Amino acid sequence: MQQHGKVSPMQETPSVLRISIPSPLRRLFDYLPASQHEFDQMQLGIRLEVPFGSRKAVGLLVEKANSTEFDQAKLKFAADVLDHQSLLSDDILALLKWVAGYYHHPPGEVFFSALPTLLRKGKSIQPDLIKKWCLTDAGNRLDVSTLGQRATRQKQLLVLLKSTSATSENALDAKQLDKQLSNWRPIMAKLVEKQLVICQESQELITDDPVCGTDEAVCREGHRNPNLNEAQQTAVQQVVEKLHQYCAFLLEGVTGSGKTEVYLRIIEQVISQGQQALVLVPEIGLTPQMISRFRSRFNCQIAVFHSGLNDKERLDAWLMARAGKARVIIGTRSAVFTPAPDLGVIILDEEHDLSFKQQDGFRYSARDVAVKRAHQNGIPVVMGSATPSLECLYNVHADRYSHLLLPERVAGAQFPQVRLLDVRAVKMHDGLSPVLLQQMRQHLQKGNQVLLFLNRRGFAPALLCHDCGWVSHCQRCDANMTIHQRDHRLRCHHCGADKPLMNTCPQCTSSELHTYGVGTEKVEQSLNALFADKKVIRIDRDTTRRKGAFESILEKVNSGEGQILIGTQLLAKGHHFPNVTLVGILNTDNELFSSDFRASERMAQLVVQVAGRAGRAEKPGEVLIQTHQPEHPLLQILIKHGYKKFAQIALEERRQADLPPYVYLALLRAEAVNMQAPLAFLQAALDISSEYNLSGNNLAENKKAHVSFLGPLPAPMEKRAGRYRAQLLLQSSTRASLHQLLQHWTPRLETLKQARKVRWSLDVDPMEMF
């Protein structure tokens, strides 16, 4: 690798490379090119290897300039150019610049979040060479029956190659051969040596999907689209009419109303015009059912992005999308930054889902970024939900979003009957009331399936000593450790701490240890005892952790192998279980009294989504909600008037209380091993804020431009993973005034001496206040 010396201080108007490097610093870094010619040839969006402190780092070229604010004589040269063409298109670069500015996050971390892991590490953009094997002319002419009896394996391989017409045009790769034969490589080597087979190498990406050109059928041969009802037709028509201009649509459709079919029809039109569609879904919404539905529908390559991909699979999918080969791109949150040269529409399913907001590191909202990307590219964005977020409903009322409604279930399916079960003073059986158990028996006797929802995994949330009162508290968090009976472990669901489940109290040595509360594992155990003749299937993070486990479980459910389903919010969305006729929600009371002002909205959304799993086909459905608070206004509104009425009331409460979406928030968080350090840093941050904020004397006449502060205060869960946490909340009635303060204030925070003793982060538009 060539090293260059420092530039001469006499050089005038230097050519400067402004490079983003993953680091916590909120700025770009200036470097010099090897020559003016190299500078002129460089494209924005290429990667370079540069000296960074005592190491070499991979950086991304973001700007080219003819001046620098630093001492020109101290600038270093970029060590190596890794790309000759930009990895990111101009629209993605512009989007990332906006994102870095809006969220006031270090640009290096923002830009590199748009790249697959292997590219961040400096891997070549060129795909790995793929080996393929085909018959030579001699191999094609050979009569395999003439081979000796000891050449059985060679015969098998030759027959396979002949049966698939393995010529140079359709040679077989290792992935295809693995499906047909085991341990075929040594045999193939012998056939190559005999010149019966030839090995070819290419840089093609392996995919199971054909390429669909604009002159080919969009849908696969033999596929017949289901009939749309009037509301679906209207929704599709309104979006298609806006395909070449920006328009934001909120598609509000009740559960089972056919929102996915609306998405598919819109995507058909986009593909037929030679464009690409980007579909964003929550992690738990990206189900095998959904992917299978897309793959069986469209006659084109589909790139899928989710957390289960390895680095190589993610890079291949990214390259297909970037090259325009993948006409449909489906992914979770981070897929919003996927390059797509022919992007025609962006679709967000379950737009209200909390997982669209990154909760650590680079804290961005994929929904809001998608809207910005659509606006920037002049294309429509469709946000679908049965329970829209209050932010989206607010934007509808403000005429920023167009409102599309799907008020009815498809295929004549009826809405389930919903009832509250008052369980006060009722003797429960591991979280199950007698009425619920009775209804379960009735539905099961008819050959139907029952779904039970409890958003708490594990066996029980705490272990308690009956003699001395000791509780299984996590030493690193302000939380209890959850019992996992099957693994015989105690685990903290906040920091991951893990230890064996003890038989005696560590404080008094008593053996009188009792579980406190109920989790999905305990309910599963009880159901197995109560319904011994029925198959119980538990669906939560513990049972779906292994790769392929979720798909296997869903196959069992859809085949009717499991009659009773118990699970967490993994069951709440994205699934169509036509034989589920009874849904039981075991506990919703915890969210009714949360300190988070968004808790009621999330609870309402979760209840409606879970209830929507019942009666989705021709069979009528029933939903039972167990509660100790049957008169609570939120539950009464949901049961009697539905989510629409709840949202109207919740928005009015937010307006009166000066809460989002009527005001704008930012949350400055800090954490440290020392209890006092986070509060000290936040107090110093508050002290310098007056330099950029309006003083109290001007508040009355400039109220709209003022930013108010709450705190610093300890976080609701002060101790987590061995670190103490605190926060400072910023609030303003205008987005502009909040960001004007953040633009000047945030860089100053890096210079505070207290900042060196803490980890701190800024969360713009926070969705969680813990």
**Can you tell me the distance from the alpha carbon of 30 to that of 358, in angstroms, rounded to the nearest whole number?**
29
**Residue 748: its H or E element:** helix 735-749
Q: What is the pLDDT of residues 415-432, one digit of tens each?
A: 778 889 999 988 988 889
**Using 50, 70 and 90 to split pLDDT, how confident is the model at 208?**
very low
Q: Would you place residue 211 in the very low, low, confident or very high pLDDT band (cuts 50, 70, 90)? A: very low
Question: Alpha-carbon dihedral of residues 179, 182, 183, 188, nearest 10 degrees?
Answer: -60
Instruction: Decide if pLDDT at 487 tops 90.
Output: no
- Three-class secondary structure of residue 62 per DSSP: strand
Non-local (6+) Cβ contacts of 662 within 8 A are 394, 654, 655, 733
Identify each DSSP E strand in 505-661 by its residue range. Answer: 513-516, 536-539, 564-567, 580-585, 622-627
| Digit-coded pLDDT (tens) for 592-611 | 887 788 988 998 988 888 88
pLDDT category of residue 9 using cuts at 50, 70 and 90:
very low
Lowest mean pLDDT among 368-372, 599-603, 759-763: 599-603
Average confidence (pLDDT) over 195-217: 60
* The pLDDT value given to residue 403: 97
pLDDT at position 692 over 80: no
CA atoms within 13 A on the CB side of 478: 10
- CA neighbours closer than 13 Å in the CB half-sphere of residue 369: 32
Give the separation between CA 225 and CA 768, rounded to whole angstroms.
Answer: 41
Q: To the nearest whole percent, how much of the chain has pLDDT over 70?
A: 90
pLDDT tens for each residue of 109-167: 999 999 999 999 988 887 667 888 888 888 888 887 777 777 788 888 888 887 776 55
DSSP-assigned beta bridge partners for residue 760 = 670
Helix axes 230-240, 259-272, angle to 10 degrees: 40
> Residue 84: how many CB atoms within 10 A of its CB?
10
Lowest mean pLDDT among 126-130, 235-239, 366-370, 616-620: 616-620
pLDDT higher than 90, residue 547: no
pLDDT of 703 strictly over 90? no
Mean pLDDT of 523-533: 90
Q: Model confidence at 4, in pLDDT bands (50, 70, 90)?
A: very low
DSSP string, 488-551: TEEE-TTT--EEEPPSS-TTT--S-EEEES--HHHHHHHHHHHTTTS-EEEESTTTS-STTHHH
- State how far the Cα of 597 lies from the Cα of 589, in Å rounded to an integer: 15
CB atoms within 10 A of CB 675: 14
Q: pLDDT value at position 165?
A: 63
The answer to which of 232-246, 615-629, 668-682 has the lowest mean pLDDT is 615-629
Q: Give the model's pLDDT for residue 699.
A: 37
Tokens found for residue 292: 């299978």
Give the pLDDT confidence score for residue 22 in this predicted structure.
Answer: 94
Highest mean pLDDT among 72-81, 170-179, 230-239: 230-239
Supply angle C-alpha 366, 602, 356, rounded to 5.
Answer: 10
Q: Find the mean pLDDT for residues 369-397.
A: 96
Question: Each residue of 42-52: b (16+ CB within 10 Å) or e?
Answer: bebbbbbbbeb
Tell me the residue length of the chain.
770
- Lowest-confidence region among 350-359, 367-376, 404-413, 751-760: 404-413
Average pLDDT, the chain: 86
Residue among 614, 716, 604, 617 at smallest CA distance from 649: 604
User: What pLDDT does 210 receive?
Assistant: 41
